[in-house]
Homo-oligomer: A and B are copies of this chain.
Amino acid sequence: MTAERDGEADTGVSTTRKTFAILEALKSEEGLTITEITERTELPKSTVYRHLATLTDMGYVIEREGGYYIGLRLLEISEQTRNRKTGYTAAKRKVFELGQETDERSLFVVEEEYDAVYLHRYGSLADTMIGKRRPMHSLASGKVILAEWDDDRVADFVERKGLGRHTSNTITDPDALAEELDRVRKQGYAINDEEYMDGLCGVAVPVHTPDDELLGALGLFGPASRFTEDVHEEFVSRLRDKAGEIRVTLAYG
């Protein structure tokens, strides 16, 4: 009823929330029918019908063979974000080169609202993971970005997002995190030692613009069996080269 609650619940336009509830439903499972969306969103059938009519009319949703799909028009909107900075686009190419040269999975990650978000990725055909959000403290790329922040901002991150445990190796203690970030700052790269998922390791370095603004993190990851001590050096030097190339590209086109 009244505007504000404990947190801040129902600001603004609930109609818009319904629309996006439907889009999110289609994200997780494409080709749904109206009734299936009804079940998943717990919205009345006629409401879903009306919203879908609007969305298809605008082209953001496509109906084909009785099922509904996210339209490519949304792609045009969101792709904007991946090219917001020239450095992002330059990073895309480097991610690809890294993947080809090392035959491992590679990624470029930026931070948004204290999440590590995949902007570019090279890897398995099944799932590109682009747009997926991960907890920063449990990823090599996330730690690289955290290491560039001052203590206050890191403290705020810890407070707001917490240091959730994902494996037995996850850093869950703020002091341990501070130590780790110090180490990252000193050595100039971060390592993920099965901290997010068992058996999954990674290495990442920061990417800077010519005027030393942080763009994001460039990383490689793969199974623990292949990410042993002795390959770290090679991976790190490759990553540094690519990060440097991005910087140069930005400076001299």
Contact = CB atoms under 8 A, between A and B. Distances in A.
Tell me how many chains of this kind the complex includes.
2
B57 A84 contact: no
A19 B153 CA distance: 32
Interface stretch (A70-78, A161-169, A201-209): A70-78
Nearest to A50: B12
**Interface bracket on A:** 35 or more
Nearest to A75: B131
A8 B58 CA distance: 12
Contacts of A74: 74, 77-78, 81
A130 B75 contact: yes
Interface stretch (A20-28, A190-198, A228-236): A20-28
A84 B8 contact: no
Interface stretch (A121-129, A140-148, A178-186): A121-129
A11 interface: yes
Contacts of A83: 127-128
Main SS class of interface, A: helix
Contacts of A112: 62, 71-72
A209 B11 CA distance: 47
A43 interface: no
A29 to B, nearest CB: 10
The 7 closest A-B pairs by CB, nearest first: A12-B54, A76-B131, A75-B131, A15-B15, A74-B78, A78-B78, A12-B53
Interface of A: 8, 11-13, 15-17, 19-20, 23-24, 26-27, 30, 50-51, 53-55, 57-60, 62, 69-84, 86, 89-90, 92-93, 96, 110, 112-113, 117, 119, 125-128, 130-133, 249
